[in-house]
Each structure stands twice: as C-alpha cells, then as structure tokens.
Structure 1
Amino acid sequence: MIVILFLLMAGFVVLIKGADIFVDGAAHLARTLDVSPMIIGLTVVAFGTSVPELFVNIAASVGGDTDIALGNVMGSNIANGLLVLGISALIRPLQIFRKTVWQAIPFSLLAAIMLWVLANDVFVDGSFFSILSRSDGWVLLGFFTVFMAYSAAVIAPVDGLPPVDPVPPEKAAAVALKMAFGFCGLLFGSRWIVDSAVALADRLGAPRVVVGLTVVALGTSLPELATSVAAARRGAAEIAVGNVVGASIFNILFVLGISAVIRPLPVTPAANVDLAVLTATSVLLVVFLFAGQVRVMGRREGGLALFLYVLYTGYLVYPLFF
C-alpha cells in the first residue's frame, strides 16, 4: 500500500511539473511564431490548468481504464466548483459582474446538461445500456470548437483575458527541448497515476470510478486550486472564477470528447448521482454569483460549497469503510 501511494504521489508531482514545463514551452513557441497575446490567452492559458486531466484521461482510455477516465472528469469538475471556489471565497469574497458571469457560465451548465443527455442512452432513447460513444465524443469536440469561437468573438473583447506574463521568444531548439521534456513528464506521470489508481482501487476493493472521482480528481485539480487561490489572494475574482469555469468546460467538452473518441466510455446507472451533483454544482455557481448587478460569493457561500464537497466525498468513501 505504501509503495502504491508513493507512486501515486510521485505521478502527480511528475505530471504537474511536466504540465508546467510543457505549457511554458508552448507559450514561448507561440511568441516565437509571433502569435497574438489574445490567442495565447484563449488557448495556452485555458489549456494549461487542464493538461493533467487530459493526459490522465488519454492514458486511462488507451489502457482501457474507462471508469477512471469518466470519474476523473466528473470529480475534477465537482472539486473545481465546490472545493476550489469554496476555498477561494473563504480567502476573499469573490465579487463578480453579472455580464461576465452570463457570458461564460451558461456554457458550463450547458456542458454538464449535454454530458448527462449523452451519457444516458437508457433514458433518452431506450437503449439497454448507456455509453459515451465515439460519435458522442465528436459532438462534445464540436461544441468545444463553438465555445472557443464564442470566447474569441464575445468574451475576450468585452471582458479581457487573464493577464499573461510577458513571454520572450526563444531559440527553436530550446523551445523544442523544453516541450519534449514536459511532454515526457506528462506521459510518464499520467501513466503512473492511472496504474497506481487501479492498484489502489483493487487493494481497497473500491470501484475504480470512485478512485477516479476522489483521489485522481483531487490530484489533477491541484493546478486549478493553485491558480484560483493565488487570484483570490490578489483580489482578482474574475480570474479565480474564470479559471474554474473555463477548466470545467474544457474538461467536459475537450477532455471527455478526446477520451470517448479514443475508446467509448461505458456509463453505469450509479454514475447518474455523480452527473446530478456535477450539474447541481453548475447551477449553484449561477445562484451564488447571479443576483442584481453585482453579486459577491462570500465566505458563507464558500463555506457551504466546502461543506457540500465534504458531504459528497463522504457519500463516495463511506461504503468502503462501513
């Protein structure tokens, strides 16, 4: 058990560090190619915090561990909405302007509802079992393309993008080496995480999807937690919330889309509880942040979000020990 936990933690360290190096290299490459800062913000910055989820899901899908792939995305989004924003609001109340919220959050809620519909073949079209098929994956990727176009046309010009640190051009060889090194970290780290998660589930006698929803999801959500907490401490509430909303949309539409295209993901009836919690999290975010012209997600709302996350986690792990 100790070896499994050590490999799991080592996998998270290698994965997150690899993601940092890879995204930094991508930013340098974009500046070297004279790509505009707006495009860098819409792609590299948005892509950055969700790289761990993406590579863990690719590794899980390729290896046939589809329960971990599905659990990782659902668990990460629930952790983002309840844990990450809850902690951020406790540090400093998050004041958000309604226009900004309604330009981004509808896609987050739409993505959650779309996932529920696509993942419920039994209820929607009377099939004998539910599965996120390859065609479902292409549908998700199509909507992701629409979201990116919408972001470029509407959100970015009106509200601006999170500030991006100046990135000086570098020599092509140095950039390529940096990206290759980061990519290797992503590959090895994600594989260690998936293998360790499978071993941990087998050792505990737990469903793999539960390990994906909890341990793996928490680990891959660390970049979002670090980014949003740092933004909250600086008083940059728009960045803290935008990071969570953007990552949640990216996880469902892009990460799950890619995962389903690689290998169809079976969906058990029990997963409907997690899908319901995921959708409710998006609804709560709207309730917390939309009231009048300006709404503050204060410490009370942050505490409630954290309480709900602890309650949900307890619901998942209670059967393992009692």
Structure 2
Amino acid sequence: MAYLLLVVGFVLLIKGADLFVDGSSNIARLLRVPPILIGLTIVAFGTSSPEATVSIIAALEGSSDVSLGNVIGSNIFNLTLVVGIAAIIFPLKVENETIRKEIPFTLLAGGALLVVMNDMFLQGQGSNFISRSDGLIFLLFLSVFMYYVIEVALKSRQSTQAEEIPKDIKWGKNILLTLLGLAGIVFGGELVVSNGTEIAYALGMSEALVGLTIIAVGTSLPELVTSISAALKKESEIALGNIVGSNIFNILFVLGASSVITPLTVSGKVVLDVIVMLLLTILLLVFSRTNFRIGKREGAVLAIVYIVYLVYIILRN
C-alpha cells in the first residue's frame, strides 16, 4: 500500500506543479511584476510548505536530526540536482539582481545557520543546538528579505505599467489554478514523505540518513517538478527564483519556526553538511556569473556533484 500511495504522491506533485507554474506566472503578469519575484515569494513559499510541515512536526516530536537533515538535505538537493536538471532541459537565465542580492542573501542565511549551530566551537558549550532566540533571529532575517522583495516588486510594477496583458488572462481562473496546484504540491509531498519514510525505515536506515535523503528529496520534489515545469515552459526566471527563494525560506522560516517551537540539538555530522551547502551556494554564484546563465554543462556538473554527495552520506552513515 505504501508503494501505491508513493506513486499517487508523485502524480499529484507533478500535476500540481504544472498548474502552479501556469497560475503564478500569469498572476505575475497581471500584477505587472517580473516572474523572478513570483518565484522568490509565492512559488518558493508554496514549494517549501512540505519542508515546513515535516520539520515542525519532527521538532514537536523531538526528532532534531529529521528536522535539520530535512532542511539541509533539501537545500543541497535544490542547489545541485534541481538546478542541474532544470539547466540541462533549458539553460537558466540569471537576472542581475539574483547574482547581486538573492544568491548572496542565501549565502548569508547559510552562514548565519553555521554560526548559531556552533556553540561548542564558538562558546565552549557542551553541545551544539539552535535555541529559541536563534530561531527568532532567523524570522527577523526573513522579514528583512520579504521587505526587500516587496520593495523591488513595487518598483518593477511602476516600470512595467505600459505592458499589454492578453485578454484571456483572468484573475479568477489563475488564482484557482495556483491554489489547486499548491494543494496538489502540498498533499502530494505529504504522501511521498510519509510513505517514503515508512519504506526507508522498513529497509533499516537511520533517522539522520532518512532526514538527509528520503525526507529531504521527498520534500524537495515540489521544487524539482516546479523548476522542471518552469524550464520546459521557458520560464527560467521562475525556475531559479523558486530554488533560491525556497532555500532562503527553508533556513529562515522552516528552521526559524521549528527552533522557536522547541530548541534543536545539532549533531557534529550536520555541521559538515552545512559547510557543503555553503560551498555549493558559492559554486552556484560562480556559475551564475558566467554570461548571466546556467548552461547545460554547468547543470551536468551540479547533478554529478549531488550523486557524489549522496554516495558520501550513505557510506558515512
């Protein structure tokens, strides 16, 4: 039964993502806002909702390894396989603002995570943990990011007033498409995670490994299918904006909310995974600066990097 529900989850994710990209990109046009900003906000928040649900539930149940592994594993999956596959399908155009502000903000969020989780090294404490006050700082960082996104959106709206919008693009239809797509993404993600985890535990995998692999990949499937859908529709700004925005939301909102609910204990192995995540963010920034696009070659490199990382963590655990 778990295998059947897993397949149903995949179908819901793929169809939901397709509807979500259509609806949100049309809403962007109706709002006269560039698609990159819709990717950074509505699409990113929507596709991060499975991570939020899983990590908050795990935090409430005292499973810090699952909560942290889910977020860090999801971010690494996004930076490598999601960007890689999307770029292989259709080279991703990178906006100047993404290179100058959004990817560096992702790097800042990752750097802040590395600092707050290193209590043993920085303060000489007996164990590493992310406290409630650390979580509140993350949520404050998120509010700064949202203020920036809204400010840019308002400026962009003023500069694109003259653009004509096709008459067949209607508010009601696209809001409905977006909501239906989001429902498919969230419900499909839940089915994939719960049944994928059940299968993984039956195969004898550890909690930390399940968090970094099965749950991380499962909760990142919305980002994967949404970005692939966006790449196929040549909405490359939504594809990259979705990934960058999701990673920011995962750290600042998901871990922020989880640690405010209950402080998260951090194992030594996870610190190394955060360093890997930061290095991959720098690599994405370097690739983005090459002709303001991420081509098929860079996409292939990122996809291979994920396979190497996956082999490493399976052997490590």
TM-score of the aligned structures, taking structure 1 as reference length? 0.78
Deviation, structure 1 residue 210: 1.2
2:283 is matched with 284
Shift in CA distance, 195/255, structure 1 to aligned 2, threshold 3 Å: same
Partner residue of 2:63 out of 56, 65, 70: 65
Distance 2:249 2:208 in 1: 20
1:33 is matched with none
Shift in CA distance, 100/318, structure 1 to aligned 2, threshold 3 Å: closer
Deviation, structure 1 residue 237: 2.2
Aligned-partner residue type, residue 283 of structure 2:
L
2:127 is matched with 129
* Per-residue Cα deviation, 1:159-216 (whole angstroms, up to 9, x for no partner): 999x9x956459xxxx9xxx8xx889958974x6666566555444432121111111
Kept in 2, the 8 Å contact 1:55–1:187? The answer is: no
**Would you say 1:266 and 2:265 are equivalent positions?**
yes
Distance 2:137 2:235 in 1: 34
**Would you say 1:147 and 2:145 are equivalent positions?**
yes
**Would you say 1:299 and 2:284 are equivalent positions?**
no
Shift in CA distance, 127/4, structure 1 to aligned 2, threshold 3 Å: farther
Distance 1:306 1:245 in 2: 17
Partner residue of 2:309 out of 294, 307, 312: 312
Kept in 1, the 8 Å contact 2:223–2:243? The answer is: yes
Count of residues in Structure 1 that have an aligned counterpart in Structure 2: 303
Kept in 1, the 8 Å contact 2:138–2:252? The answer is: yes
Shift in CA distance, 187/264, structure 1 to aligned 2, threshold 3 Å: farther
1:75 is matched with 73
Deviation, structure 1 residue 231: 2.0
Distance 2:62 2:8 in 1: 22
Q: Tell me the secondary structure at the aligned position of residue 220 of structure 1.
A: helix
Shift in CA distance, 297/260, structure 1 to aligned 2, threshold 3 Å: same
Distance 1:116 1:135 in 2: 15
Deviation, structure 1 residue 224: 1.1
Deviation, structure 1 residue 25: 12
Unaligned runs of 5+ residues in structure 1 are 31-35
Distance 2:189 2:230 in 1: 27
Distance 1:220 1:20 in 2: 17
Kept in 2, the 8 Å contact 1:104–1:245? The answer is: yes
Unaligned runs of 5+ residues in structure 2 are none
Distance 2:20 2:90 in 1: 31
Q: Tell me the secondary structure at the aligned position of residue 131 of structure 1.
A: strand
Shift in CA distance, 13/156, structure 1 to aligned 2, threshold 3 Å: farther
Distance 1:93 1:25 in 2: 22
**Comparing 244-253 with 228-237, which one deviates more in the overlay?**
228-237
Shift in CA distance, 188/82, structure 1 to aligned 2, threshold 3 Å: closer
2:52 is matched with 54
Kept in 2, the 8 Å contact 1:85–1:241? The answer is: yes
* Per-residue Cα deviation, 1:285-306 (whole angstroms, up to 9, x for no partner): 1010114xx3221111111100
Kept in 1, the 8 Å contact 2:21–2:226? The answer is: no
Kept in 2, the 8 Å contact 1:83–1:306? The answer is: yes
Deviation, structure 1 residue 247: 0.7
Aligned-partner residue type, residue 268 of structure 2:
P
Kept in 1, the 8 Å contact 2:185–2:222? The answer is: no
Deviation, structure 1 residue 258: 0.8
Distance 1:67 1:95 in 2: 36
- The 5 Å alignment of 1:220-235 reads 220-235=219-234
Distance 1:169 1:71 in 2: 39
Distance 1:186 1:127 in 2: 39
TM-score of the aligned structures, taking structure 2 as reference length? 0.79
Shift in CA distance, 135/317, structure 1 to aligned 2, threshold 3 Å: same
Shift in CA distance, 302/186, structure 1 to aligned 2, threshold 3 Å: closer
Shift in CA distance, 37/248, structure 1 to aligned 2, threshold 3 Å: same
Deviation, structure 1 residue 98: 2.9
